[in-house]
Amino acid sequence: MAQIYASKTNEIQKYETEHENEVRHLAGECMVLLENDGVLPFSDKIKKIALYGTGARHTVKGGTGSGDVNVRKTVSIARGLEEAGFEIVTEDWLDRYDRDLEEAQKTYLKKLKDMSDETGEPSVILGFKHPFQEPEQPIVEETDIKEADAAIYVLARNSGEGKDRRAEKGDYYLSDRELQNIRFMTENYSNCVVLLNTGGVIDLTELRKISGVQAILLTGQTGNMGGHAVADVLMAKTVPSGKLTDTWARSYDDYPSSRTFSYRDDNLDDEYYSDGIYVGYRYFDTFGIMPLYCFGYGKGYTDFSLVTKEVTADEKLVKVEVEVTNIGKVYPGREVVQVYYSAPDGVMEKPTQELAGFAKTKLLMPGEKEVVTVTFATEDMASYDSYDAAWVMEEGEYTIRVGNSSRTTEVAAIIDLDETVQTVLLKNVMKDKEFVKEIHHMVPIFDLELDDTPFMRPILIYAENFKKKIMEYEVIRTTLEDKRPDEILTLEDVKKGAASLEELVAQLTVEEMADLCVGTERLEEGGNVIGSSSACVPGAAGDTTSALIEKRKIPNLILADGPAGLRLQTHFKTDKEGNKLPGGEQFGMEIAPFAKEQPEGAQDYYQYCTAIPIATTLAQSWDVDLIKRMGEIVGEEMEQFHIHLWLAPGMNIHRNPLCGRNFEYYSEDPLLTGLCAAADTKGVQSYKGHGTTIKHFAANNQEDNRMFTNAHISERALREIYLKGFEIVVKTAQPYAIMTSYNLINGTHAANHYDMLQNVARDEWGFEGFIMTDWYTSQDTTALGMVSESGKYSYSDGVQCIKAGNDLQMPGCRKNVEDIVDGVKNGRITKADLQRCAKHILGIALKTI
């Protein structure tokens, strides 16, 4: 019988109300006002609203798959508007779509069941491969036009793990019906607003051609209180202050990876990162491509002036002070000061500019001023030289730019370095047998459309004043010998100081350590196969072993999915002995029914969690304090339900807008990604014994064939773009865990990549926690239908996981344990390898007791 931590009452708990109210308030600051000719915020005269669009009543709170959150309620935009006092006059049109949607969902679920019966694959896996497609919405006809003061169209998109988005109408592009209905709406109403209830970039070129659209608000996907948050913004109870974290292109073909991304080149086995370091605005700015909306862009209900007061710099730190003034006359607002640097081209080519830091003002009333300060390490402007395996600042002028978006910056200072200097000497660890041909610029193409750089005296810095770091790497792993053989040491002994962690590890047998390094093996025991394998907290993703509790007092750790809150089973039942009864399991649209007849003494339990905004929407706040507070909300609920590890935040880079899981990740920029994830981690880990798992390490940038795709990436691109965010979090927040990605990197599975896990994460960055696989990475998933269509690349090797320093394999199976034991016996791995993994896991377990 497992210990149960859930509530026995279905009544709304105090924490639910408090968290929902706070999320409602903060979510509005994550919304990005893309266009507004004065219709927003709504005046008091607007009472009746004509509401259309698939997201009106069926507002998407967040994406699908493991990133979903099971909640008590979700407030739709329609409900939010009604409860704010607006009258919705288009109920008939909304009712028609409701009926179409209900029928489509029934047909879809039956299709999955039939396919499952035919193939033997679980319907959950089939749902990944064949995600639900919303039905075509009804045409807005003359009879649907009602008298109204304003019209709102809610354009919604959904996506999730296991399937990339498509560059097709109805997904990346607006469908013909959507454009038809929006045009008809603008022809029959004044004060027309389009709300984008999306988790990522969509093509807005055709929408922008419709002259009657007076405002476009990117609401994003703001969790289960999204409808209230949207209404608050429309009424200026909360003012939007978000900025884009991605470049929105005029054409999908403008993205440098557009031709070869995922399925686009009919090659799902090998993904060649020919864009190199030129991802997002780094490409658009350097190659002179004009975006529709640039990185960092976002309007508000007021305007601001930015005046750089002072820039100071030496060989250690750059400090930028900017005075921000609300120059509007009516509304308060918040502004984001963005600081970029332009490094000189030398031996290595450089992007036109890169984000160096940012800061957000407090809420400024009309006429109010605030001086904000942005600081960053001078060596952050270094580039990675793969020929010398070093971070290098090349001699020349480093231009510091200040603005409120990537395309509205002005030169604030010039820092002149007298000669080239290596700041850190490392070794190349991500070599590829195949050469990746990357794009290059020969001369600067785009000048950011700035005025001529004004004359200013440069700030001089000198190479001789930099202190070069030389990295040292692990050479050999030494076996720990048991020096207290007459005692049975426990983790409680370590906690009390009666034994060291090394002494406990030295005493563990190979079998005990193999158990410790493998999850609870629920697959063979008939448990739910995807993301719902916890014995203690139903709906949680999994547990570590409980086999060592009695003898070694080593607790099992409980892991729950994220990253937009905790994904748990909201309602479950147990018999009078406390054993969980079948029923109530949730994944997507499917909820397993309870048996009509329950045993005598059956007990109901409830676990309701808060859905916070998705990572992309959170990052649009550009407010690390806000994100930290969201992390604290999650941390408090982890404490409530005894969750030790949150399988979040997701940190992969938005390399291409079609990645199915972009909503789980923050941005195209690694600095913004790292700072957001660090804030999230600090919030969660402010609750003792509860931690984050940053994922997916690394380069998990596509979902099609995700377990068997080989990402070919240059060492420089990996270090500057795809690893940099992880480095920032590890160095500034020390998350409890890292989750490796499914994919291969330059021919080696991420979970088997010793150089990346040991040399980079631990030796270079100083990571102290443990590293786990993603679910089923090291298991044969043929029975689950998770197979490589071509067979070019196979599964990750469970024994090599231990060698590489991938400490924990999840969700685990008996074969994983047996393979590890056999691996020690036959010499594929050493006992020292296994001890190192066990020690990492126990180090985190120690924090939980």
834 close to 478: Cβ distance less than 8 angstroms: no
Local confidence band at 529 (pLDDT 50, 70, 90 cut-offs): very low
Whether 587 shows a pLDDT value over 90: the answer reads: no
Cβ neighbours of residue 658 under 8 Å, at least 6 residues apart?
164, 165, 166, 167, 172, 261, 262
Q: What is the mean pLDDT of residues 64-92?
A: 95
Structure tokens at 595: 């048996």
Residue 769 has what pLDDT?
99
Indicate the class that CATH gives domain 31-240.
alpha beta
Instruction: Report the distance separating Cα 247 and Cα 78, nearest Å.
Output: 30
Task: Give 650's pLDDT tier (boundaries 50, 70, 90).
Answer: very high
Token digits of residue 463: 């190479």
Tens digits of per-residue pLDDT, 416-442?
999 999 999 999 999 888 889 999 986
SS (H, E, C) 490-511: CHHHHHHCCCCHHHHHHHCCHH
| Over residues 216-244, mean pLDDT | 98
Label residue 533 by pLDDT band (50, 70, 90).
Answer: low
Complete DSSP assignment for 425-449: E-------SSPP-----SS----TT
Q: Is the four-CA dihedral 26, 532, 105, 781 of positive or negative sign?
A: positive
Tell me, what amino acid is at 555?
P
Report the range of poorest mean pLDDT among 588-597, 681-690, 720-729: 588-597
Specify the pLDDT at position 525: 46
pLDDT tens profile 343-365:
999 999 999 999 999 999 999 99
For the chain, give the mean pLDDT: 95
**pLDDT at residue 632, as a whole number:** 99
Least confident residue range of 47-61, 68-82, 447-461: 447-461
Return the pLDDT at 305: 98
- Residues 11-30 have pLDDT tens digits of 999 999 999 999 999 999 99
| DSSP β-ladder status, 737-740 and 383-385 | unpaired
User: Cis ω on the peptide bond leading into residue 131 (within 30° of 0)?
Assistant: no
Torsion over CA: 55, 60, 63, 64 (sign): negative
pLDDT category of residue 112 using cuts at 50, 70 and 90: confident
Percent of the chain clearing pLDDT 70 (strictly above)? 97
Q: How does pLDDT run across 292-347, given as a tens digit for each residue? A: 999 999 999 999 999 999 999 999 999 999 999 999 999 999 999 999 999 999 99
Distance CA(373)–CA(449), nearest Å, equals 26
The answer to whether the beta carbons of residues 62 and 159 sit under 8 Å apart is no
Please say if the pLDDT value at position 165 is more than 90: yes
Stretch(es) of the chain classified as CATH 2.60.40.10:
293-470
**Do 758 and 805 touch, CB atoms closer than 8 A?**
yes
Lowest mean pLDDT among 80-94, 511-525, 627-641, 746-760: 511-525
Q: Report residue 483's pLDDT band, with 50, 70 and 90 as the boundaries.
A: very high
- Residue 442 is predicted with a pLDDT of 64
Least confident of 527-536, 566-575, 578-587, 745-754: 527-536
pLDDT of residue 2: 67
Residue 816 has a CB neighbour count (10 Å cut-off) of 25
Number of neighbouring beta carbons within 10 Å of residue 789: 10
Specify the pTM: 0.96
Overall CATH class of domain 491-570+607-847: alpha beta
Helix segments in 669-749, DSSP class H: 670-684, 715-717, 724-733
| SS (HEC) of 657-691 | CCCCCHHHCCCCCHHHHHHHHHHHHHHHCCCCCCE
Fold of 293-470: Immunoglobulin-like (2.60.40)
> What per-residue confidence (pLDDT) applies to 806?
99
> Is the pLDDT score of 800 beyond 60?
yes
Task: Count Cβ atoms below 10 Å from residue 838 Cβ, excluding itself.
Answer: 27
Mean pLDDT, residues 810-817: 94
Q: Kindly report, as residue ranges, where domains of CATH 3.20.20.300 are found in the chain.
A: 491-570+607-847
Residue 417: name the closest of 463, 383, 457 by CA. 463
Is pLDDT at 443 greater than 80 in this prediction? no
Angle between helix 670-684 and helix 624-641 axes, rounded to 10 deg? 40
pLDDT tens digits, one per residue of 704-739: 999 999 999 999 999 999 999 999 999 999 999 999
Supply the pLDDT for residue 736: 99
809 secondary structure, DSSP code: B
Average pLDDT over residues 114-136: 83
pLDDT-derived band at 450, boundaries 50, 70, 90: very low
